[in-house]
Amino acid sequence: MSKQTQVTIDGTAGKIEAQLEEGKADAPFSASSYVAVICHPHPLYGGTMDNKVVSTLVRIYRELGIITLRFNFRGVGASEGEHDEARGEVDDLCCVSEWLQAKYPQSQLLLAGFSFGSAIVAAASERISVEHMILIAPPVTRYSYASQGAFACPVTVVLGGQDELVGTNEVLAWLESINCPVELIVIPEASHFFHGQLNNLRERLGAQLNTFLIKAVDG
């Protein structure tokens, strides 16, 4: 079983509660220099770093051998501060990403976010260097994604075909408007929270991420 460590990181609004987890030692990228930070859904609607989609993302990275850090946005759990309408939360992500890369200085950063968390990931990618992003159920009509018309790194977008909160057609139209490498995964049976579809999410997204990383390592 991989090692989990509770950590506290200094943020711009106070202390940030986080959990660091090692990747599997015998996994494909256990000797790689990748690290991943994962962002949870909306804090005002019960989103925390213990969300099941977030936990599934941790498992995906762990099974590939990649170190992960998940954390609570300001005002959630033991993280200090107050919700800041997707502004200060970008600062939170940048702070924890910088902390993680300082701990593993040769690492390349992977980011993943679910729903609201995907908007924070997208915004932070304009401020920090990212190797790859995963955006799950991105509410593209509520927040700014790829404000310059493209992301600076490859992106995987995951949609649930039965998502009751994020319109599939809206996301597909947005994807047509951006100019950067994007892989799209649609899970037809999945709702917004992927109830009953987490294993499907893990298998399909894990396979796609594994393929991307193999190509990236091979150059």
Ordered by where they begin, the domains of the chain are: 4-218 (3.40.50.1820)
How far apart CA 142 and CA 114 sit, in angstroms, is 14
> Residue 94: is its pLDDT beyond 60?
yes
| Contact call for residues 58 and 21 (beta carbons, < 8 A) | yes
Two tokens at 19? 């959990």
pLDDT tens profile 108-167: 999 999 999 999 999 999 999 999 999 999 999 999 999 889 999 999 999 999 999 999
Q: Per-residue pLDDT averaged across 74-100, rounded?
A: 98
pLDDT tens profile 51-73: 999 999 999 999 999 999 999 99
Over the chain, what is the mean pLDDT?
Answer: 96
Two tokens at 124? 């932070």
| Contact call for residues 27 and 64 (beta carbons, < 8 A) | yes
pLDDT of residue 82: 98
How far apart CA 143 and CA 139 sit, in angstroms, is 7
As a dihedral over the C-alpha atoms of residue 160, residue 166, residue 170, residue 175, rounded to 10 degrees, the angle is: -60
Helix (H, G, I), strand (E, B) or coil at 171: helix
pLDDT tens profile 30-55: 888 999 999 999 999 999 999 999 99
Two tokens at 122? 């997208």
**pTM of the entire predicted model:** 0.97
Dihedral sign, Cα of residue 142, residue 144, residue 145, residue 149: positive
Two tokens at 62? 């762990």
Q: Per-residue pLDDT averaged across 181-206, rounded?
A: 97
pLDDT of residue 1: 55
